[in-house]
Amino acid sequence: MANPVSGFSKKSKEEKITWLAENYLANSPNAVATLKKYWNPDEKIQQLHDDFIENTLSNYYLPFGIAPNFLINGHLYAIPMVIEESSVVAAASNAAKFWLKRGGFKAEVLGTEKNGQIHLNFFGKKELLTHFFAEVKPKLIAGIASLQKKMQERGGGLKSIALIDATEKLEGYYQLHATFETLDAMGANFINSCLEAMAHIFEAEAVRFKPFKDHNTYPEVVLSILSNYVPNCRVKAKVSCRVEDLTDKHTDGTTFATKFVRAVAIAKAERHRAVTHNKGIMNGIDAVILATGNDFRAVEAGIHAYAAKNGDYTSLTHAKVENGIFTFWIEIPLALGTVGGLTTLHPLVKLAFEILQKPDAKQLMQVVAVAGLAQNFAAIRSLVTTGIQKGHMKMHLMNILNQLEASEGEKEKAVSYFKENTVSHSAVVSFVETLRT
Q: What is the CATH number of the domain that holds 165?
A: 3.30.70.420
Catalytic residue among 184, 277, 295, 346: 295
Whether 246 is covered by a domain: the verdict is yes
**What is the tens place of the pLDDT at every residue in 133-166?**
999 999 999 999 999 999 999 999 999 999 999 9
Among residues 112, 68, 152, which one has the least CA distance to residue 364?
A: 112
Q: At what angle do helices 253-269 and 361-383 cross, to 10 degrees?
A: 110
Domain boundary pick from 226, 246, 275: 226
Identify whether 169 is part of a domain: yes
What is the dihedral sign for C-alpha 181, 303, 297, 84?
negative
Q: Are residues 174 and 202 in the same domain?
A: yes
Catalytic: which of 16, 119, 277, 392? Answer: 392
| pLDDT attached to residue 97 | 97
57 belongs to a structural domain: no
How many CB atoms neighbour CB 132 within 10 A?
22
Count of domains observed in the chain: 4
Residue 119 lies in a domain: yes
Percent of the residues in the chain that have a pLDDT greater than 90, as a whole number: 84
At 12-34, the pLDDT tens digits run: 999 999 999 999 998 898 999 99
Give the pLDDT confidence of 353-368 residue by residue, as tens digits. 999 999 999 999 999 9
Residue 59: inside a domain: no
Are residues 100 and 125 located together in one domain of the fold?
Answer: no
> Percentage of the chain with pLDDT > 70?
97
Claim to verify: residue 249 and residue 356 sit in the same structural domain: yes
Q: Which of 226, 246, 277 is the C-terminal boundary of a domain?
A: 226
**Crossing angle of helices 271-291/347-355, nearest 10°?**
100
Q: Is 58 in contact with 38 (CB distance < 8 Å)? A: yes
What band does 388 get if pLDDT is binned at 50, 70 and 90?
low
Count how many residues are written for the chain: 437
Residues 74, 115: Cα–Cα separation, whole Å: 32
pLDDT for the residue 392: 55
Please confirm, yes or no, whether 184 is among the known catalytic residues: no
The answer for residues whose C-beta is within 8 angstroms of residue 367's C-beta and 6 or more apart is 70, 72, 77, 79, 107, 288, 356, 359
CA-CA distance, 366 to 364, in Å (whole number)? 5
- C-alpha torsion sign, points 383, 387, 390, 393: positive
Residues 355 and 286 in one domain: yes
Q: Are residues 381 and 421 in the same domain?
A: no
Shared domain check, 219 and 278: no
191 within some domain: yes
* Structure confidence at residue 406 as a pLDDT band (50, 70, 90): confident
Cα 419 from Cα 399, distance rounded (Å):
16
Q: Which tens digit of pLDDT belongs to each residue from 267-289?
A: 999 999 999 999 999 999 999 99
Does 331 qualify as catalytic in the annotation? no
The pLDDT assigned to 391 comes to 56
Domain CATH for 304: 3.90.770.10
Between the CA of residue 10 and those of 5, 16, 19, 377, what are the distances in Å? 11, 9, 13, 49
Active-site annotation holder among 177, 236, 259, 279: 279
Last residue of a domain, one of 226, 251, 268: 226
Same domain membership, residue 245 and residue 104: yes
Same domain, residue pair 162 and 305: no
pLDDT of 405: 84
Q: Which residues of 345-361 are buried (b: 16+ CB within 10 A; e: fewer)?
A: ebeebeebbeebeebeb
Average pLDDT over residues 410-437: 82
Average pLDDT of the residues in 42-64: 95
Segment 38-47 long-range contacts (CB within 8 Å, at least 24 positions apart) = 45/347
Average pLDDT over residues 377-405: 78
Residue pLDDT, tens place only, 58-101:
999 999 999 999 999 999 999 999 999 988 999 999 999 999 99
Give the pLDDT confidence of 190-236 residue by residue, as tens digits: 999 999 999 999 999 999 999 999 999 999 999 999 999 999 999 99
DSSP H/E element including 241:
strand 234-242
| Same domain for 401 and 373 | no
279 assigned to active site: yes
Rounded to the nearest integer, the mean pLDDT of the chain is 94
Dist CA 87 CA 395 (whole Å):
6
Tell me whether strands 317-322 and 220-226 are parallel, antiparallel or unpaired: unpaired
User: Is 328 a residue whose pLDDT tops 70?
Assistant: yes
Question: Catalytic one among 13, 85, 205, 350?
Answer: 85
Residue 386 is predicted with a pLDDT of 76
Q: Is the same domain home to 31 and 134? A: no
Q: Are 268 and 368 contained in the same domain?
A: yes
Domain range for 397 is 392-436
The whole-angstrom separation of Cα 252 and Cα 26 is 60
pLDDT attached to residue 3: 83
If asked whether residues 181 and 277 sit together in one domain, one would say no
pLDDT surpassing 90 at residue 319: yes
Per the domain annotation, does 167 fall within a domain?
Answer: yes
pLDDT exceeds 70 at position 1: no
User: Is residue 189 one of the residues assigned to a domain?
Assistant: yes
Active site residue 125: no
Model confidence band, residue 437 (pLDDT cutoffs 50, 70, 90): confident
Distance CA(136)–CA(141), nearest Å, equals 9
Question: Span 326-337, mean pLDDT?
Answer: 97
φ, ψ of residue 367 to 5 degrees: the values are -65, -45
In this predicted structure, what is the pLDDT of residue 395?
62
Q: 240 φ, ψ to 5°? A: -160, 145
